Amino acid sequence: MKVSTKVEFGIIALADIAINSNNGKAVSIAGISERHNISAKYLEHILIALKQANLIRGQKGARGGYVLARPSDKITFFDIINALDITILSGSYIDDSQDNSSFKTTVNECLWDKMNLYLQDFVKKITLADVAEQCRTANSENEYMYYI
């Protein structure tokens, strides 16, 4: 499925915060930007969206940054994706009021609605903790490789 950079970068940023905010230390945009080569200015917008969805908390001022608003195993990808792009998991389909038949309504009901529920089911089961864990191990293996 095609996903926007906003969603993709948002997930990377959250995984980064989950991993790098040890003992409550806030993670800065500059840090995330450097670690993953993502424009800091662009990240701002993305993190604000995540903040507005109450997934992270921002701390202003020097030594500021972001921390997760709740434990990573309590943040599902349903939460994350919805925070960044409302169109992915909820269906706003084609207007069916002008259809002479009821085909559009039928297709919405027996295909798209079901598909949405199915998708939602999937992303509700995966948490940020799951993915962050994978990122952590993959990254440490990566670092190990450099020293061989």
Binding site for DNA (CB under 7 A): 4-6, 28-30, 39, 41-42, 44-45, 47-48, 51, 58-66, 85, 87
Which residues lie across from 57 on neighbouring strands?
A: 67
The sign of the dihedral angle between the CA atoms of 122, 113, 7, 73 is negative
115 binds a copy of itself (CB under 8 A): yes
In this structure, the strands spanning 56-59 and 65-68 are: antiparallel
Nearest residue (CB) to a copy of itself, 67 versus 107: 107
Residue recorded with tokens 């993709």? 8
CA distance 12 to 15: 5
Binding site for a copy of itself (CB under 8 A): 1-3, 5, 8-9, 11-12, 15-16, 34-37, 77, 87-89, 91-94, 98-107, 109-112, 114-116, 118-119, 122-123, 126, 130-131, 134-135, 138-139, 142
